[in-house]
């Protein structure tokens, strides 16, 4: 999280890219425990969404529909994971993970 916060403050191009990707999509929401006290008042509200977290994950909440009981659920899950994968790849790179997901796998 310290590395992420540093990239937010520095407006690192990798973070700017994933933040842009996040803002363009409407499937997932940022979640995770927040600090109660504001750490940096100078950041915009959309950056605070990332910066104020003790941990981060993404959730998708939907109404129950017929896809829940069909193969459509698998398609929805695959499409959702493809949509959010660049953000998780970013987190792996940020963490220094050497087992990055290969493109197309």
Between CA 74 and CA 79, with CA 75 as vertex, the angle to 5 degrees is: 115
pLDDT at 3: 95
Distance CA 12, CA 25 (A): 21
- The owner of tokens 């950041």 is 43
CA nearest 85: which of 11, 33, 25? 25
pTM for the predicted model, two decimal places: 0.79
pLDDT at 64: 87
pLDDT at 67: 82
pLDDT at 63: 87
**Per-10-residue mean pLDDT, the chain, length 105:** 95 96 95 95 94 95 86 91 95 75 46
**Count of beta carbons in the 10 Å neighbourhood of residue 97:** 11
């Amino acid at each position: 999280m310290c590395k992420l916060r540093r990239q937010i403050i520095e407006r690192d191009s990798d973070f700017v890219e994933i933040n842009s990707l996040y803002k363009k999509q409407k499937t997932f929401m940022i979640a995770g425990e927040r600090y109660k006290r504001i750490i940096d008042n100078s950041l915009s509200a959309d950056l605070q969404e990332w910066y104020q977290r003790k941990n981060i994950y993404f959730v998708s909440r939907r109404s129950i529909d017929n896809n829940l009981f069909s193969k459509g659920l698998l398609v929805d899950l695959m499409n959702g994971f493809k949509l959010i994968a660049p953000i998780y790849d970013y987190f792996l790179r940020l963490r220094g993970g050497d087992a990055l997901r290969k493109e197309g796998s």
